[in-house]
Structure 1
Amino acid sequence: MIMDIRPRQVPVFLVVPPRALLLDIAGPMEVLRRANMEQAAVHFQVTYVGPSSDVLSSVGLGLTGVVPLPARLPDGALVVVSGAVDQPLGTVADARDTDAPLEAEIVDWLQRSIRSGIRIATICSGALLAARAGLLEGYECTTHHSMLSALARLAPTANVRDNRLYVEDRERLTSAGVTAGIDLMLAIVTREAGHATALAVARNLVLYLRRAGADPQLSPWLEGRNHIHPAIHRAQDAVAAEPARSWSLASLATVTSTSPRNLSRLFNEHVGMSVTDYVNRMRVAFARELVVGSRLDMDSVAERAGFSSTRQFRRAWNRIHDATPARLRASAA
């Protein structure tokens, strides 16, 4: 039997608006480019689309080769709508009025093209285009802090959230300004290609402070990774890829090609905690996802996260979280 080892394709269509904010495009798409290099199971196939083939970006650099907005999107597509600025660097006049027909074309295309099974992710002011298309009505969403009131006006039935890096509500994903688009794309990579890939991408891009959408604090998956020691990163990658595995100091020492004693010393020096504490924190992070994202009972959560008992799981959980797993699940419902 011949096995099909071709990667699963994720079609991504990035909408390039007039006066495109360059970091809204380059940041998230660099995450996807690197994700394609880090693994072979999933391939993000990116196409840049828009109403104009040539766009002047926010920093005055011209973007070319943008293809027309497609007549129909394939099933399972991800549409990314990037943001725009009032005035690109080096221009002397506000181009918003002359660009209005192009923005209207994007809005009309979004209205016609986004259907069930198509995810839309907005970066910064891209949320305003999605709102004008009526795609955020009844959804939780966010945008750059300076545009929250405008978003609320454009989507009166939406639940516009402030102080959020990004918000995921079913097939609508919205992010705050500029670099938050990178955080959102790392979350998408995590979902499509796994934590290990997202961690490798973040580390390669020197994004040690990757954050979670609902809270501005450090993501537990990148806690203790603001160092550049390759052996420790190898150990952390191994734990992140299989947090439920029975990791011992000796088994991780084998992964890192160092002695258990040296690995223990390096962890305390560079990570600021012991190997056991680090493994337990990763298991708690994995368990938190199971608590929020499933209806598994706590015995099953503990087992899947690699804890020997529910009691051990609760002890590890209580060292990190104030709320019990049950309360967290109830608040996230």
Structure 2
Amino acid sequence: MMRDVYFLVLPQVMALDLTGPAEVLALSGAFRLHYIGPQAEIATSTGMTISRVEPLPVSLPPESIVVLAGVADSRHQLDSPPALEAKRWLQEHRLAFQERTWTLVCVCSGSLLAGRAGLLDGYRCTTHHDVMERLRQQAPAALVRDNRIFVEDRGVFTSAGITAGIDLALYLVSQYVGPQQAMAVAREMVVYFRRGGDDPQLSPWLRHRNHLHPAVHRAQDILAHEPEAEWRLDELARQVFMSSRHLTRLFREHLGLSVREYHEQLRLAVAQQRLQQGQGIEKSALAAGFSSSRQLRRAQLRWHD
């Protein structure tokens, strides 16, 4: 199912706040991108002009995602007439966000605009470190978190500065489409997925992908496609056309893990997903490829103690 994403753009929008997340979502092939705002043509922070921006709509389809990108000088530009018009539009549709009819995504100082509109009241959130205190002052009911790449709270997503918008967009792809597709997009863009907040379930799928060795990526793809299977090292090595010893050395060099350790992390992620779905620990363990709940608990202790 294609999901509609609406980027609310203001004059002097930070170019990478806009284009970084947009590129991630476009590459995933699962989102329709729209650009809306108070003005039909705007200049970005880099001087590039964006034209044919659609007017702020009366409403949006259910399950739409609204992205607020940051601006170059939020101290002054968020008091401009276009920003005030955008703020009023957000306030008019506050209920749609509260009831999670629409999803709110803020990149960098976009959190300030959302905070001023009252959309972050009672929500855990974050923003660029340079404007963190201003967010606390302008949205005193928001639960602002320091030192986070991004924060998710009940359908409201906020991220830190600039490139953190790419990290958040990859997380959205993993949530809506799946971790395999997010991993593929990250590899296509040659970026490293930095997990944020308290989302350890994503790290095994995406965290160890910040290298460029094609054979290691192929081995990771094979393991990630069927983590519950009993993968023998020699069989895995044969599928990527190298010796077991060489594959082991490459995993250590590029991941800092053995093949067995990486495989176990994937299995733990599968088990955790099953547990979150309400399945019992024994059933979750078996579904992830562990021989028993006892083996699962031992693995959890190895990685979480």
Q: TM-score, normalised by structure 1?
A: 0.82
Q: Hey, what's the Cα distance between the residues in 1 that align with 2:62 and 2:226?
A: 31
Q: Which residue of 2 aligns with 1:19?
A: 12
Q: Does 1:112 align with 2:79?
A: no
Question: 1:232-261 CA deviation, whole Å, 9 max, x = no partner?
Answer: 212212323443333333553464355555
- 1:315-330 correspondence runs (5 A): 315-322=298-305
Q: Hey, what's the Cα distance between the residues in 2 that align with 1:101 and 1:227?
A: 45
Specify whether residues 164 and 268 from structure 1 end up closer, same or farther in structure 2 by C-alpha distance, changes over 3 A only.
closer
8 Å CA contact 2:114, 2:120 repeated in 1 = yes
Question: What is the CA distance between 1:63 and its match in structure 2?
Answer: 1.7
Q: Hey, what's the Cα distance between the residues in 2 that align with 1:315 and 1:141?
A: 34
Question: 1:284-330 CA deviation, whole Å, 9 max, x = no partner?
Answer: 23444555x444443233233321112221222222212xxxxxxxx
Question: 1:55-74 CA deviation, whole Å, 9 max, x = no partner?
Answer: 11111222222111121100
Identity among equivalent positions (%) equals 46
Question: What is the CA distance between 1:164 and its match in structure 2?
Answer: 0.9
- 1:260-279 correspondence runs (5 A): 260=244, 262-279=246-263
Q: 1:161 is matched by which residue type in structure 2?
A: R
Question: What is the CA distance between 1:281 and its match in structure 2?
Answer: 1.6
- SS of the residue 2:162 aligns to: coil
8 Å CA contact 2:204, 2:262 repeated in 1 = no
Q: Hey, what's the Cα distance between the residues in 2 that align with 1:269 and 1:135?
A: 45
8 Å CA contact 1:195, 1:241 repeated in 2 = no
Equivalent of residue 195 in structure 2, options 212, 215, 218: 212
Q: Which residue of 2 aligns with 1:190?
A: 174
Q: 1:321 is matched by which residue type in structure 2?
A: H
Question: What is the CA distance between 1:276 and its match in structure 2?
Answer: 1.5
Equivalent of residue 73 in structure 1, options 48, 60, 63: 60
Q: Which residue of 1 aligns with 2:105?
A: 121
Specify whether residues 148 and 269 from structure 1 end up closer, same or farther in structure 2 by C-alpha distance, changes over 3 A only.
closer
Q: Which residue of 2 aligns with 1:331?
A: none
Q: Which residue of 2 aligns with 1:326?
A: none
Equivalent of residue 2 in structure 2, options 9, 18, 40: 9
Q: 1:16 is matched by which residue type in structure 2?
A: V
- SS of the residue 2:31 aligns to: strand
Question: What is the CA distance between 1:14 and its match in structure 2?
Answer: 0.7
Q: Which residue of 2 aligns with 1:232?
A: 216
Equivalent of residue 100 in structure 1, options 80, 95, 103: 80
Q: 2:177 is matched by which residue type in structure 1?
A: A
- SS of the residue 1:48 aligns to: strand
- Which 5+ residue runs of structure 1 have no aligned equivalent? 1-7, 37-42, 88-93, 323-333
Question: What is the CA distance between 1:186 and its match in structure 2?
Answer: 0.7
Q: 2:24 is matched by which residue type in structure 1?
A: V
Q: TM-score, normalised by structure 2?
A: 0.89
Specify whether residues 204 and 215 from structure 1 end up closer, same or farther in structure 2 by C-alpha distance, changes over 3 A only.
same
- 1:165-204 correspondence runs (5 A): 165-204=149-188
Root-mean-square deviation (CA), in Å? Answer: 2.5
Question: What is the CA distance between 1:215 and its match in structure 2?
Answer: 6.1
Q: 1:166 is matched by which residue type in structure 2?
A: F
Q: Does 1:245 align with 2:229?
A: yes
Q: 1:164 is matched by which residue type in structure 2?
A: R
Q: 2:142 is matched by which residue type in structure 1?
A: A
Q: Hey, what's the Cα distance between the residues in 1 that align with 2:6 and 2:136?
A: 26
Q: Hey, what's the Cα distance between the residues in 2 that align with 1:201 and 1:302?
A: 29
Q: Hey, what's the Cα distance between the residues in 1 that align with 2:263 and 2:199?
A: 23
Q: 1:303 is matched by which residue type in structure 2?
A: L
Alignment: residue pair count? 300
Q: Does 1:135 align with 2:135?
A: no
Specify whether residues 206 and 170 from structure 1 end up closer, same or farther in structure 2 by C-alpha distance, changes over 3 A only.
same
Q: Hey, what's the Cα distance between the residues in 1 that align with 2:273 and 2:159?
A: 20
Q: Which residue of 2 aligns with 1:308?
A: 291
8 Å CA contact 1:280, 1:316 repeated in 2 = yes
Question: 1:91-112 CA deviation, whole Å, 9 max, x = no partner?
Answer: xxx9738x61100111111122
